[in-house]
Amino acid sequence: MTKSTKNSLPTPVERRGILAAWDKTHKKYVHFGRANDPASLRKFAEWVATLAGTPSPDSPTESVLADPGTLNTTRKVPHKTSSVPAGATVADLSLSFLDAKRTHSHYYHFRTACKFLKRYSDMETADFDAFCLLEVQAELNSYGYAKTHCNDLVNDVRQIFKWGEARRLVPAGKFEHLKTVEPLLEGRENDDRFWEVDDEVIERTLLLLLPVYQAIIRILWWTGARPKEILRMRVGDIERQVVEDNGAKAEIWSLSPKKHKTAKKNKGRVIAFGTREQAVLAPYLAGKAADDFVFRPVDAIAERKQSARAKRKTKLQPSQVERERRNKENPKCKYNPCFATDAVGNVLRDAIANANKTLPEGERIPEWTLYSLRHKYVSEYVEKYGVEAAALMVGHTDTEMVRKIYDKSQKRRILKQKLKDEAAEQ
């Protein structure tokens, strides 16, 4: 950033969509709200006026107010924990919170919560009440998130305001006020579309994905495991043993996750991998250490580059080969060691949405989620082996939840079959 003279007035800049200016006295950035918003520009003008009296017509303030297009949106501003003036908006609070929590392990969940606060960016934190949080909760619920994930994100919003309250960015008592919003309870399903998925729909969707995502979905489809149980699976967690039954021998792989949903109840969890699951897992086990995750984002990046390279029609330039060699020896990007459930779910949702843009109305792929595979597995296993066997395979401590999933699936199948029968008669 260009250094200004000692007596010059601050120059407004756009910092990640927020109008900001450098306060030379306190050595920090001051934020005024959304960029190119007249209200934010007026706040900036008032702030400058308090620093140097009424600004002159040729000052940066007057020039930006007269023509908002002169705002410098190309200046690179270093990320630094920012301060928020009195009357802070929700956008100011979100930006300051994310700057402070940049190295937090829960950072990406906080960032997702802040995305759903964008509609209230210009609202002052004092005006954000429980009804606004209810609207955020309703938007999260309609977005297709699981009820537990919706509750977690709503709680993240509360934590953001709690953090601001401790720093006098939010009025005292706001956190307790937001706690009056009750969580989504059992029985409020987000969207019935996500409960049922056919084999044909799964196969059509797999053609749109990279091999690593195909492998993840096939393992979830064939085992009924929870997404986190598979995505956090390490190479050393898989046990290989020969099982004999009625004279027949077969090698069965098994996974006993250290962290799973019922671990807090001192319950064990075992996921068995048969022959077809082993064939899918084998390529992702070769050449990895015991502590490595089976499915890694770096594998998806490599497959995407390999796919793009196969479709390339022009000659590969020597400079690009040299650049890839340097990046391999000294990588600039550091990827997460394992996939997050949200990341794989977003890839699945985006692949279906992009494919449906070019497909006719009657050939579009229905939307579904990773947990649709678990519901499908439970329903089919109950029909074959009963409720108790299905509860054992999917890791439920009782059979009540299995019965609920099966009853919902059975009801939908009956209605679908009835619709097919009426169509055939007509």
Task: Judge whether 21 lies within some domain.
Answer: no
Residue 165 and residue 121 in contact, taking contact as beta carbons nearer than 8 Å: no
Task: Judge whether 419 lies within some domain.
Answer: yes
Mean pLDDT score, 285-306 = 89
Q: Which of 84, 4, 9, 5 is nearest to 53 (CA)?
A: 9
Question: Does one domain contain both 106 and 250?
Answer: no
Read off the pLDDT band of 32 (50, 70, 90): confident
Q: Residue 392: what pLDDT? A: 75
Question: Does one domain contain both 233 and 160?
Answer: no
pLDDT for 183-235, tens place per residue? 987 654 544 555 668 889 999 999 999 999 999 999 999 998 888 889 999 99
Question: Does one domain contain both 135 and 104?
Answer: yes
Question: Does one domain contain both 146 and 285?
Answer: no
Task: Judge whether 14 lies within some domain.
Answer: no
Supply the mean pLDDT for the chain: 79
Q: Is residue 279's pLDDT more than 90?
A: yes
Instruction: Determine the structural domain holding residue 139 and report its residue range.
Output: 90-178
pLDDT for 385-397, tens place per residue? 777 777 778 777 7
| Domain finish residue from 147, 178, 209 | 178
Q: What is the CATH number of the domain that holds 364?
A: 1.10.443.10
Question: Does one domain contain both 159 and 260?
Answer: no
What residues form DSSP beta bridges with 33? 19
Read off the pLDDT band of 16 (50, 70, 90): low
Mean pLDDT score, 38-58 = 69
Q: How far is CA 349 from CA 57, 307, 335, in A?
A: 52, 20, 21
Count the domains in the chain: 2
Residue 374 and residue 225 in contact, taking contact as beta carbons nearer than 8 Å: yes
pLDDT for 236-259, tens place per residue? 989 888 777 777 777 888 888 877
Classify residue 183 by its DSSP letter: P
Question: Does one domain contain both 258 and 381?
Answer: yes
Q: Is residue 82's pLDDT more than 60?
A: no
Residue 240 and residue 253 in contact, taking contact as beta carbons nearer than 8 Å: yes
Read off the pLDDT band of 412 (50, 70, 90): low
